């Protein structure tokens, strides 16, 4: 393999590694953000459980958390399910 071919292949491999790393970092950041959002909603639900909040205050995450808590479905809803639906 000549030097020029080696450099081209090396650049391709390095570019691929950079893209894979940035994609992985982005997914990790998205996961952390969504976890924070879900935890905030859970805290809000806990603090407002003594007083009934307006139905209009509920968003999709609140509805999914309610389903998760009440187990009205045969499917066991996890936080990961909620994250995937949110994305």
Question: Is 41 in contact with 62 (CB distance < 8 Å)?
Answer: yes
Is the pTM here over 0.85, yes or no? no
Please name which of 60, 67, 66 lies closest in space to residue 37, comparing C-alpha atoms. 60
Q: Would you say 36 and 79 are in contact if contact means Cβ atoms under 8 Å apart?
A: no
pLDDT value for 54: 56
The token pair at 22 is 């940035």
Say if CB 45 and CB 58 are below 8 A apart: no
Per-residue pLDDT 10s for the chain (87 aa) are 688 777 787 788 878 777 777 888 888 999 999 999 999 999 988 876 545 555 556 788 988 888 888 876 778 889 999 999 887
Domain ranges in the chain?
3-86
């Amino acid at each position: 393999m000549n030097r020029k071919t080696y450099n081209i292949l090396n650049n391709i491999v390095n570019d691929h590694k950079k893209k894979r790393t940035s994609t992985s970092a982005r997914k990790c950041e998205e996961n952390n953000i969504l976890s924070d959002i879900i935890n905030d909603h859970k805290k809000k639900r806990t603090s407002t459980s003594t007083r009934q909040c307006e139905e209009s205050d509920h968003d999709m995450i609140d509805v999914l958390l309610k389903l998760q808590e009440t187990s009205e479905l045969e499917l066991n809803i996890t936080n990961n399910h909620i994250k995937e639906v949110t994305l």
